[in-house]
Structure 1
Amino acid sequence: MPKISHKGEHMPASPIRKLTPFADAAKKQGKRVYHLNIGQPDIETPQGMLDAIHNSTFKVWAYTASEGTLSYREKLTGYYNKLRYGITPQDIIVTTGGSEAITIAMMTCLNPGDEVIIPEPFYANYNGFACQSDIVVKPILSYIDNGFALPPISEFEKLITEKTKAIIICNPNNPTGYLYSREELEALKELVIKHDLYLFSDEAYREFCYDGREFISPMHLSGIDNNVIVMDTVSKRYSACGARLGCLITKNKEVLKTALKFAQARLSPGMLEQIAGEAAVDTPDSYFEAVNKEYTQRRDILVNSLNAMDGVFCPNPGGAFYVVAQLPIDNADKFCQWMLEEFSHDNRTVMMAPATGFYSTAGSGSNEVRMAYVLNTTDLQAAMVCLEEALKVYPGRVN
């Protein structure tokens, strides 16, 4: 039988989805599973997006421009310039989800064997995207003790070699919820200038910043226009994960020219999705204010419940809708599977993502899990009761 590729063999499985068969089996047994494993919000998609789809009257479902429709890019320009990005429609390439924005950015800017530094824990699929592009991820540890703050620049310096070409940040961060400060981004700015690096900024959770804290993008920093590439998506902002609509933004004309070739190779982003995306830009601020208030309440329930449990520690995140919690367990992968296979409380259990999959450094995150607070407050509270009861009886508990 023909063999699969070496790349296929090394492609990592998703820590977010790999336990799905066990969750499905638990449901067949009649258990209710609280899904805290994946960032699929239960917040309703803005009505304007849905209306735009329902009211569409096109007669031919046609290709669009490879860079996205001009009308959508013009609407996006208004959104980003309201945030002080200072861009034009020509600085945007529309992508099929934020994932494609990341892969196009990697293929455009990095050669096989080039190295990219990423503070970890990081979005698990960065590993998969790097594998697809034959890029080497150089992880730099951040620590739960200080809430996963940006590691010192001196630690970045230790990793930089002649093969280092980029740094990737996710702000606010998935999986930790950490929100980078202006001081941290200014420090990164000096580093990328010194070593002539790209700074990739994954901004999927830009709208979700809590406690009055300010979101700062590398697009707000002077002097690095040719270094910065923003990767964005409508998935989280508008609770429209299934739309698979994102974009790549940069003021670097050479990068745009090259990225467009990759965009042309995959033909075009979806037409109907961009129609919905145009309508999404008109979503009133009141929508985001209500969503922010809801997520703040959910965060507080989750964080307070976790820290009240014996042996558990969870930093309070400044953004996104995730936490990484440290549990008194021997092995996160084993524990998360055990929760689905062997445990139930009142015929209920919880699905979480082992944090090991969000690290590249071997052995890291072995007693940590990521949870997404994307359920309503009643279900979140019930899930926390399940988790607390599970930790009391888990055979691999570590005191």
Structure 2
Amino acid sequence: MPSISVKGQHMPESPIRKLVPFAEKAYKAKKTVYHLNIGQPDIKSPVLAMDAVANHSLEILAYTRSEGSQEYREKIATYYQNNNIPVEANEIIVTTGGSEALLFAMGSIADAGDEIIIPEPFYANYNGFATASDVNIVPVISKIEDNFALPPISEFEKLITPKTKAILICNPGNPTGYLYSKEEIEKLAAIVKKHDLFLIADEVYREFTYDGLKHFSILETEGLEEHAIIIDSVSKRYSMCGARIGCLVSKNKQVIKTALKFAQARLSPPTFAQIASEAALSTPQSYFDEVIEEYQERRNTLVENLQAIPGLKVGVPKGAFYCIAELPVKNSDAFAQWLLEEFDVNGETIMVAPAGGFYSSPGVGLNQIRIAYVLNKESLIKAVEILRIALQEYKD
């Protein structure tokens, strides 16, 4: 029998999606499942984006340029400029989701065996992208006791080797909801300049910040032009996850030139999705104001109810729409599966994402889960009550 590649064997399962078969069994058993496991917003996509596709005048669904259409990239550049991020259209490559942008970034800056330092817990698919790119992730652990703040810069210094190519952050963070401050970004900027590294920032949740806090982009930092790479996406900003449109942004000409070769190899990003995404850039600020107010209320509801559960710790998110909860259980994978297979409260249960897959350090985060607060407040209250009862009944 032909053998599977070593790379394929090492490719990690998604901690977010691997429980789907058990959820399907729960559906067949007529259970109602509250999905706390995946960051699929329930907010409606902007009407003008949907209308742009519905009312298109195309006669041929043709390729676009490999870097994305000129018109769309010019409008993206204007969006950034309006957010105090000085970039031009030729410093942007449109990608098939933020996922492809991350793959292009890793492929452009790192060779097999090179290293990227990432504060963990981090977006689980970074593990998969690193495996696909033959890149080694070097984790620096942030702790729930510190609300997942940036670890001391001295901890990064200890990990830098001749193989280190970049530091990668997600800001605001998935899965923690942590929002890095301007001072923390400047500390990272100083260390990448000192050691001549790249600083990659996954900024797809830029709009989602709470408590009056503002997002500070790495490209707002002077002197970081040759070091900074932004990863972005329309998925969460406009509740358009299925569009699969993102972008890679850098003022480093060699990064853009190299990433473009990867873009040419896959031909072009999807045409209809670019049409929708270009239209979405005209979404009024009132849309975001309402969405952010709604998410902040959901966060407050979720955290308040979680904090009332004995033995549970929860990080308080300042951005995005996720939080990490530490449970009084030994293994959250087993607990999450049990919730779907064996447990319900009056025919209702919950689906969560075990947090071990958001770390690369073995054995870390095994008693944690990630919760996405993309449900309405009433559903969140029900879901947390189900979690409370489940923790009372569950036996490791």
Q: Same fold (TM over 0.5)?
A: yes
Q: CA deviation at 1:14?
A: 0.3
Q: Distance in 2 between matches of 1:79 and 1:113?
A: 36
Q: Distance in 1 between matches of 2:233 and 2:183?
A: 25
Aligned to 1:152: 152
Q: Distance in 1 between matches of 2:126 and 2:214?
A: 26
Aligned to 2:134: 134
Aligned to 1:254: 254
Aligned to 2:286: 286
Aligned to 2:318: 318
Q: Distance in 2 between matches of 1:90 and 1:32?
A: 48
The SS at the match of 1:259 is helix
Aligned to 1:392: 392
Aligned to 2:108: 108
Cα deviations across residues 58-117 of structure 1 (Å, max 9, x unaligned)? 000000000000000011011010011111100000000000000000000111110000
Aligned to 1:244: 244
Q: Distance in 1 between matches of 2:136 and 2:192?
A: 18
Q: Distance in 2 between matches of 1:91 and 1:190?
A: 23
The SS at the match of 1:33 is strand
Q: Distance in 2 between matches of 1:168 and 1:93?
A: 19
Aligned to 1:84: 84
User: Which amino acid in structure 2 is aligned with residue 203 of structure 1?
Assistant: E
User: Which amino acid in structure 2 is aligned with residue 81 of structure 1?
Assistant: Q
Cα deviations across residues 337-386 of structure 1 (Å, max 9, x unaligned)? 11111110111000000000000111110111000000111111111111
The SS at the match of 1:339 is helix
Q: Distance in 1 between matches of 2:105 and 2:366?
A: 31
Q: Does 1:358 align with 2:364?
A: no
Instruction: Output the aligned Cα RMSD.
Output: 0.5
Q: Distance in 1 between matches of 2:315 and 2:123?
A: 18
The SS at the match of 1:395 is coil
Aligned to 1:120: 120
Aligned length in residues: 396
Q: Distance in 1 between matches of 2:372 and 2:278?
A: 28
1:1-399 to structure 2, matched below 5 A, reads: 1-396=1-396
Cα deviations across residues 10-62 of structure 1 (Å, max 9, x unaligned)? 00000000000001101100100000000000000011101101110100000
Q: Distance in 1 between matches of 2:57 and 2:330?
A: 57
Give the TM-score taking structure 1 as reference length: 0.99
Q: Distance in 2 between matches of 1:123 and 1:10?
A: 17
Q: Distance in 1 between matches of 2:363 and 2:325?
A: 16
Q: CA deviation at 1:236?
A: 0.2
Q: Distance in 2 between matches of 1:308 and 1:315?
A: 14
The SS at the match of 2:350 is strand
The SS at the match of 1:122 is coil
User: Which amino acid in structure 2 is aligned with residue 130 of structure 1?
Assistant: A
The SS at the match of 2:313 is coil
Q: Distance in 1 between matches of 2:224 and 2:366?
A: 37
Q: Distance in 2 between matches of 1:315 and 1:126?
A: 21
Q: Distance in 2 between matches of 1:33 and 1:296?
A: 23
Identity %: 58
Cα deviations across residues 260-280 of structure 1 (Å, max 9, x unaligned)? 000000000011111111110
User: Which amino acid in structure 1 is aligned with residue 271 of structure 2?
Assistant: M
Q: Distance in 2 between matches of 1:256 and 1:326?
A: 40
Q: Distance in 2 between matches of 1:16 and 1:212?
A: 30
Q: Distance in 2 between matches of 1:256 and 1:204?
A: 19
Q: CA deviation at 1:126?
A: 0.3
Q: CA deviation at 1:315?
A: 1.9
The SS at the match of 1:211 is coil
The SS at the match of 1:229 is strand
The SS at the match of 1:231 is strand
Cα deviations across residues 111-162 of structure 1 (Å, max 9, x unaligned)? 1110000000000000000000000000000000010000000000110000
Q: Distance in 1 between matches of 2:381 and 2:19?
A: 22
Q: Write out the 4+ residue segments of structure 1 that deviate beyond 6 Å after TM superposition.
A: none
Q: Distance in 2 between matches of 1:188 and 1:195?
A: 11
Which runs of 5 or more structure 1 residues have no equivalent in the other structure? Answer: none
Q: Distance in 1 between matches of 2:167 and 2:246?
A: 20
Cα deviations across residues 257-301 of structure 1 (Å, max 9, x unaligned)? 111000000000011111111110000000000000000011011
